[in-house]
């Protein structure tokens, strides 16, 4: 075999091997190229959208007022040519003008193709984040302005109840749209209200719900904010909403606003607007507290880093008794940062609040609360002297009798001698801790919190710890609530956030191992 035959043979062999490999990878390469091109289209179109479209269609394509939403399955599946034509030529009889340069607009074929790709394939959450990072902030939770002409029109609709309907219309716009939506469509925070079910409900029942709230939900009691007559007006409006809407009276959401995200003062103003429209109903004016904790307090602000405040807003409350909803899907990261900055600005002048979380947030067990709902502040866990029986049960050091013995209450290591359980009323004010487990020694848990400090927590007597099989390991993220003893923390409940397991060590203020 001469060298030419050898060369030909290996050349043929290479073709036989290379072509199948190329053919195998070609579809994948084409798909990757198409994905890259599509992503580039969407990225470029996002900038165009924020500059020219978001003011009408919303920063996440949610639509504003009569302007339709673009973040919809109907548009995503719409015929390509039809979608292109709508953007290029606009829609007759609407505010949608033609955006193609042939129609006097700003864009060529290529740019409109990019906008079509954005509508069909864009991630609207990311588009909203991009808009916020550039300073285009969505309405600070929709608090629409009410046109006086609308009020007059509602009053004319009913000679008997028109004033009540109109007042309810205005009160709803000011207080309820945050959770229940501009058109009563509902959200992850509140149920739909513009429904046949609500309109047919008994008025007294609706008044009770608004006044007392709904336990375990974000629906807080409004009896301290609104008068009975105002609540009755809201109910009148809700039960006649269909009639009012049929006359063309609808609320229009506010438009996004531009904010200088590089200016600290502008960010503080944004944070204040968000707090006043989103948080004040639960946390009170200037963070003074209410159904939610008093955020404007030394205990809250010194115990939580900016990151912890940010995480709580994003994820919601982490305590078992908390009704704090998650706002991670409702606010952009820029808005949350502005809100944290506003709350942090209180710290230099924040007062010391006796019970910043309030009794409704688990701020002390029932037996520890006074008649006015505050929490007693008896320090430590033990009595004031020695041999106080069930009034002290300790030697003034605050430690429970089983701390060192490891024996169940009612027993001792010496036999059948009984010991009294420490009186519940001797426990101190409730505190909460969130951090990472760094050490476990018998039943003593050491948790490192965000600022690097460590908290030692006692998890009941050793026999209880072992019998219950409480599974916690070094490195687990935990949250716990309890009260201070002399040199450690006694635990009421603990949640292993790594495993999702929660254990209650006290119920109604009493240790579960005594029950």
List the domain boundaries for the chain.
27-134, 148-246, 259-360, 424-514
Q: By three-state DSSP, how is residue 308 classified?
A: helix
Q: What is the pLDDT of residue 357?
A: 67
Instruction: Please give the Cα distance from 317 to 325 (Å, whole number).
Output: 7
Fold for the domain defined by 259-360 = Cytochrome Bc1 Complex; Chain D, domain 2 (1.10.760)
CB 487 within 8 A of CB 476: no
pLDDT at position 212 is: 85
Class of the domain covering 27-134: mainly alpha
Q: What is the pLDDT of residue 344?
A: 94
pLDDT for position 428: 60
Give the integer Cα–Cα distance in Å for 141 and 137.
Answer: 10
Helix (H) or strand (E) holding 323: none
Rounded Cα–Cα distance for residues 115 and 42 (Å)? 7
CATH second-level architecture of 424-514?
A: Beta Barrel (2.40)
pLDDT the model gives residue 242: 87
Do the domains spanning 259-360 and 424-514 agree at the CATH topology level? no
β-sheet bridge partners, residue 478: 435, 496
- Say how far apart CA 479 and CA 463 lie, in whole Å: 22
Half-sphere exposure of 202 (CA within 13 A, CB side): 4
Q: 23: number of CA atoms within 13 Å, CB side?
A: 6
Spell out a b/e string for 266-301, using b for 16 or more CB atoms within 10 Å of the CB, else e: bbeebbbbbbbbbbbbbbbeebebbbbbbbbbebbb
CA 236 from centroid of its chain's CA atoms: 31
Question: Model-level pTM?
Answer: 0.46
Residues 298, 291, 343, 334, CA torsion sign: positive
What pLDDT does 391 receive?
Answer: 31
Q: What is the mean pLDDT of each run of 10 residues along the chain (515 residues)?
A: 66 66 64 67 82 80 76 86 89 79 85 88 85 73 69 76 80 81 78 89 91 76 84 90 84 75 90 86 85 85 87 77 76 90 92 68 38 38 32 33 37 35 50 85 83 82 69 84 75 81 77 73
Q: Which alpha helices (DSSP H) does 387-428 contain, by range? A: 402-405
Task: Say if CB 101 and CB 111 are below 8 A apart.
Answer: no
Cα(360)–Cα(492) distance, integer angstroms: 16
- What CATH number has the domain spanning 148-246? 1.10.760.10
Residue 231 tokens, joined = 């609540």
């Amino acid at each position: 075999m001469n060298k030419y035959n050898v060369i030909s043979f290996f050349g043929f062999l290479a073709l036989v091997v290379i072509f199948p490999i190329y053919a195998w990878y070609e579809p994948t390469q084409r798909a990757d190229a198409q994905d890259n091109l599509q992503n580039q289209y969407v990225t470029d179109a996002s900038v165009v959208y924020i500059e020219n479209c978001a003011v009408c269609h919303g920063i996440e394509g949610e639509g504003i007022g009569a302007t339709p939403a673009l973040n919809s399955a109907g548009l995503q599946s719409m015929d390509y040519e039809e979608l292109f034509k709508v953007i290029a030529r606009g829609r007759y009889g609407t505010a949608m003008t033609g955006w193609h340069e042939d129609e006097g607009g700003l864009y060529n074929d290529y740019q409109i193709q990019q906008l079509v790709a954005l509508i069909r394939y864009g991630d609207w959450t990311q588009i909203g984040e991009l808009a916020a990072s550039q300073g285009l902030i969505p309405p600070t939770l929709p608090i629409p302005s009410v046109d006086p002409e609308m009020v007059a029109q509602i009053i004319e609709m009913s000679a008997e109840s028109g004033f009540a309907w109109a007042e309810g219309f205005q009160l709803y716009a000011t207080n309820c749209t945050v959770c229940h939506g501009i058109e009563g469509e509902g959200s992850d925070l509140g149920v739909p209200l513009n429904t046949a079910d609500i309109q047919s409900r008994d008025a007294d029942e609706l008044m009770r719900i608004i006044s007392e709230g709904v336990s375990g939900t974000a629906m807080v009691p409004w009896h301290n904010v609104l008068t009975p007559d105002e609540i009755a007006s809201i109910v009148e409006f809700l039960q006649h909403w269909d009639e009012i809407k049929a006359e063309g009276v609808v609320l229009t959401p506010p438009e996004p606003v531009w904010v200088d995200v590089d200016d600290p003062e502008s960010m503080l103003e944004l944070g204040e607007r968000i707090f006043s429209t989103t948080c004040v109903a639960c946390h009170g004016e200037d963070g003074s507290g209410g159904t939610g904790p008093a955020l404007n307090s030394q205990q809250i602000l010194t115990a939580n880093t900016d990151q912890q405040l940010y995480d709580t807003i994003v994820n919601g409350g982490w305590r078992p008794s908390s009704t704090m909803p998650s706002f991670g899907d409702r606010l952009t990261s820029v808005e949350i940062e502005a809100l944290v900055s506003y709350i942090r600005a209180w710290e230099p002048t924040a007062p010391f609040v006796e019970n910043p979380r309030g009794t409704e947030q688990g701020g002390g067990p029932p037996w520890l609360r006074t008649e006015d709902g505050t929490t007693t502040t008896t320090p430590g866990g033990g009595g004031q002297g020695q041999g106080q029986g069930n009034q002290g049960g300790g030697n003034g050091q605050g430690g429970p009798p089983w701390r060192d013995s490891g024996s169940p209450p009612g027993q001792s290591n010496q036999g059948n001698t009984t010991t009294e359980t420490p009186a519940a009323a001797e426990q101190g004010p409730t505190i909460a801790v969130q951090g990472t487990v760094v050490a476990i020694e018998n039943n003593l848990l050491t948790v490192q919190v965000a600022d690097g400090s460590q908290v030692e927590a006692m998890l009941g007597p050793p026999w209880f710890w072992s019998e219950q099989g409480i599974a916690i390991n070094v490195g687990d993220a935990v949250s716990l609530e309890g009260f201070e003893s002399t040199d450690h923390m006694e635990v009421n409940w603990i949640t292993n956030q790594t495993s999702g397991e929660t254990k209650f060590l006290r119920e109604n203020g009493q240790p579960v191992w005594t029950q």
